Amino acid sequence: MSLAESWNKYAVGSKPRRAANAKGETTWLNWTQYADHGPNESVLGSVEGRRVLELGSGSGSNLAHLVTLGATGLGVDVAPARETVAKKRWAGLAGLEFRTAEATAFLSETGETFDVVLSIFGAVWFVDPHTLLPLIRSRLASGGTLAFSHLPAESQDVKPGKAGLRHNHSLDAWEILLTSHGFAAVSASLVDPPQGETVGTMLVRAVAR
Ligand SMILES: C[S@@+](CC[C@H](N)C(=O)[O-])C[C@H]1O[C@@H](n2cnc3c(N)ncnc32)[C@H](O)[C@@H]1O
């Protein structure tokens, strides 16, 4: 099965995000695997007027929130079913586009420059960072922000997930990887899980040098 087919299968089995969160908001950004938990979009700084790229954008809900705050957004996802669902769900929102593409292929081909790149349990988790980070850096404006989240590091650096290989790295490993691929001001932290849960979330932010 190809990468697109296997992620498409995963997409078909995934539940759509709720219409509103616990605060009654209809759009919001969530970096973690838990509903209504953890930091919000403030991790990215102000996104107003900024061009934002999400790698592995899924249903597009996180990116849509940034667009409601004044960004323009492009969501790239390898699974065609994601583009269909995201376009349908966010059809009324101007300044937001979705495209089916594998992240490294997209970054290699695009001529666009972005101010912010984010990936929430997305392509940054599933592509070898030695391949992906230089490509992200090449399409990110100097001073631009990269931020991403994934499950905390396990004993193995690369581990099979439901639909792809997960690249699990520790806080220290991300700092070394990002610094060696043109990023600075790396801040990597573990977001504590909510009460009753045991697994936290790795959240990493860096600035393009
Ligand atoms: C676990 S889901 C997370 C989706 C979304 N970011 C969210 O938080 O709901 C991972 C997403 O990344 C996409 N993906 C995985 N590998 C990718 C790649 N190499 N290029 C583009 N998208 C990828 C998958 O199709 C899937 O939609």
Query: Which domains, ranges and CATH numbers included, belong to the chain?
Result: 3-11+27-208 (3.40.50.150)
Measured by CA distance, the residue closest to atom 16 of ligand 1 is: 123
Q: How far is the CA of 11 from the centre of ligand 1 (A)?
A: 9
Q: How far apart are the CA of 143 and the centre of ligand 1, in A?
A: 25
Type of residue found at 151: L
**Residue 155: predicted pLDDT:** 67
Mean pLDDT of successive 10-residue segments in the chain (209 residues)? 92 91 98 98 98 98 98 98 97 97 98 98 96 98 98 78 83 96 96 97 97
Token pair for residue 133? Answer: 């980070």
Q: For residue 5, what pLDDT is reported?
A: 92
Measure the CA–CA gap between 207 and 209, rounded to whole angstroms: 6
Question: What residue's CA is closest to ligand 1, atom 7?
Answer: 58
Q: What is the spatial distance between Cα 185 and Cα 209, in angstroms, rounded to a whole number?
A: 9
Distance 104 CA to ligand 1 centre (A): 13
**Per-residue DSSP letter, 30:** -
What is the CA(7)–ligand 1 centre distance, in A? 8
pLDDT of 153 reads 84
Mind giving me the DSSP string for 125-182?
Answer: HHS-HHHHHHHHHHHEEEEEEEEEEEPPP-SSSEEE-SSSEEE---HHHHHHHHHHTT
How far away, in angstroms, is 54 Cα from ligand 1 center?
9
Beta strands in the chain (DSSP E): 51-55, 72-77, 96-100, 114-120, 140-150, 158-160, 165-167, 183-191, 201-208
d(CA 198, CA 131): 31
Atom of ligand 1 nearest to the CA of 79: 25
Ligand 1, CB within 6 Å, residue ranges: 7, 11, 55-58, 76-79, 82, 102-103, 120-123, 126-127, 164
The crossing angle, in degrees rounded to 10, of helices 3-13 and 80-89 is 40
pLDDT score of 94: 98
pLDDT at 161 (0 to 100): 77
pLDDT at 204: 98
Beta bridge partners of 150: 202
